[in-house]
């Protein structure tokens, strides 16, 4: 379970004792001594480690949950299931649906839908509030999402993601500069100094991040790109595209707002705006997942159909 620190100058054990529900400070200290607590990806060696605002603390124990965060309840939320067997399922997550409960999203998430659809046939997850969740998509990113139905499957799938042996392909519409026909963007990423909830390119202290893309169509300031993720950093595609001068359409956090159209040549603006209007969310879709089934050895390639906003934008790009 991950918790982001809001206020700095806090001692690690005291912070967790206050942040976790029904967990004593002595129990927290046992977690730390046992190597089950990490800060910003590194195992915490000391219980008196001083935390700063924006630090991300991870507790490796499925029985804990944040204060005020209730155990998720089953809710009848429709799921578009692309594939299902006894081990896992792949769903086509719609834009606007949050993956798991968290700050500001107590329910109405993929997790609540999973509990209704699969009941007890869902893995324990990485913590008590995230049953079945192996990886995540941003709220406004649509597309293919794997969910585990058993704890054994959760472990195997998590290994595939951590070792980058699952091929993840995305597609997105960008606004601004014309991309190269093909490129590997290799720019390390770290938390933004201005806003710790965002990511930024940091050549000195960032974690390696590699995004490969192919330019499918370019027209009047709008690009249709297909991406392959060679690493899985938070907001990776969004930050890399923004840094290159062609942010994802409607990605207001990273420069893809409507204001970007004003920087396009006047004769190109009407078309760019017509594509921009197709979207009311960031124009990014998790198109497919390709991997070897961890239990049967079968070759799996599961694709998520385009939502209507992508279909509309593609028609405009092709002149239909």
- Work out the number of other CB atoms within 10 angstroms of the CB of residue 90: 22
Nearest to 100 by CA among 63, 80, 128, 119: 128
Nearest to 123 by CA among 166, 156, 94, 80: 156
Reply yes or no on whether 138 is catalytic: yes
The helix, strand and coil proportions of the chain, stated in percent and rounded to the nearest 5, come to 25, 30, 45
In the chain the beta strands, taken as DSSP E runs, fall at 2-4, 10-11, 37-39, 42-43, 50-51, 56-59, 81-84, 88-93, 142-148, 167-175, 182-186, 189-191, 199-201, 210-219, 222-229, 284-292, 299-303
Nearest to 301 by CA among 211, 171, 167, 172: 167
Angle at 185 between CA 205 and CA 265, to 5 degrees: 115
**Contact of 244 with 197, CB cutoff 8 Å:** no
Q: Tally DSSP H helices, then E strands, for the chain.
A: 7, 17
Residue 140 makes CB contacts below 8 A (sequence gap 6+) with 95, 96, 250, 281, 282, 284
Nearest to 281 by CA among 250, 256, 314: 250
DSSP string covering 155-187: HHHHHHHHTT-SEEEEEEEEESSPPPSEEEEE-
Choosing from 138, 140, 251, 309, the catalytic residue is 138
Spatial separation of the C-alpha atoms in residues 258 and 249, rounded to whole Å = 8
Which residues are marked as active site? 138
């Amino acid at each position: 379970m991950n918790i982001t620190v809001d206020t700095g100058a806090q001692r690690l054990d005291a912070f967790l004792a206050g942040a976790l529900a029904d967990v004593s400070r002595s129990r927290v200290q046992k977690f730390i001594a046992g190597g089950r607590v990490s800060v910003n990806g590194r195992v915490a060696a000391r219980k008196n480690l001083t935390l700063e605002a924006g630090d991300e603390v991870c507790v490796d124990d499925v029985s804990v949950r944040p204060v005020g965060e209730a155990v998720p309840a089953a809710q009848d939320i429709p799921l578009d299931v692309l594939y299902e067997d006894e081990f896992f399922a792949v769903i086509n997550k719609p834009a606007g649906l949050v993956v798991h409960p968290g700050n500001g999203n107590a329910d109405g998430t993929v997790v609540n839908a999973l509990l209704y659809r699969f009941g007890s046939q869902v893995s324990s997850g990485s913590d008590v509030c995230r049953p079945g969740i192996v990886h995540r998509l941003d709220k406004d990113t649509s597309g293919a999402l794997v969910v585990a139905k058993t704890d054994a499957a959760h472990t195997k799938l998590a290994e595939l993601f951590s070792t980058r042996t699952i091929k993840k392909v995305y597609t997105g519409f960008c606004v601004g500069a014309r991309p190269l026909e093909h490129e590997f963007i290799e720019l390390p990423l770290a938390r933004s100094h201005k806003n710790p909830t965002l990511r930024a390119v940091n050549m000195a202290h960032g974690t390696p991040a590699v995004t490969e893309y192919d330019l499918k169509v370019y027209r009047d300031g709008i690009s249709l790109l297909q991406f392959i993720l060679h690493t899985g950093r938070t907001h990776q595609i969004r930050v890399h595209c923004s840094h290159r001068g062609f942010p994802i359409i409607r990605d207001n956090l990273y420069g893809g707002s409507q204001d970007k159209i004003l920087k396009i040549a006047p004769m190109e603006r009407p078309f760019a705006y017509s594509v921009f209007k197709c979207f009311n969310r960031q124009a990014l879709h998790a198109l497919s997942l390709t991997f070897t089934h961890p239990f049967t050895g079968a070759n799996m390639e599961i694709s998520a159909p385009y939502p209507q906003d992508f279909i509309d934008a593609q028609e405009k790009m092709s002149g239909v």
